[in-house]
Structure 1
């Protein structure tokens, strides 16, 4: 009875860990969204800079647009650092899940061995 309760507890913990892993993946996708938006923004601004430099050679426009691009690139770098940290956390949780699965397998083997010896 005690071993069955322990097995049930381990399965519940495994389910909780899987839920946490899924949540981390969703958070990772959510963090990827601003990065995509900023990349699109940078591409549009660079196209606008090229068009404005071709059509109207304005120093002020070029300076402002360059400042916007530099700010956006800094934002992208910060988001990339955050994504790398989140990816490391995700990999750590995956490793934890694999370790837990190994523990569960060992426990099931022990249970089978005990049933066989009994």
Structure 2
């Protein structure tokens, strides 16, 4: 992260992308790189810590990679006898998306 802040095109691109969209960008980044790395990475590009934290907290929902805790629970479940990992993933992802979408829509109200 420290090195990226010295590459002006990266700073400009990410800065322009996140500005006034911290909640959405951090929630989407969480779906790819998990919420903790997402908040660490994006924190260097915004001063709006509140929006960034709301976005990454909401972003912990969604795909299993969005939260380390979700990956740990998936690993534990997969080791159980008669685990149906595919079915678990389908239900897990569906339930998380059902929660993720409305929370993202409510985020502006959660911000106060």
- Provide TM-score, normalisation by structure 1: 0.31
- Provide TM-score, normalisation by structure 2: 0.32
Highest RCO, 1 vs 2 (Cα 8 Å, sep ≥ 6): 1
The structure in which a higher percent of residues are helix is 1
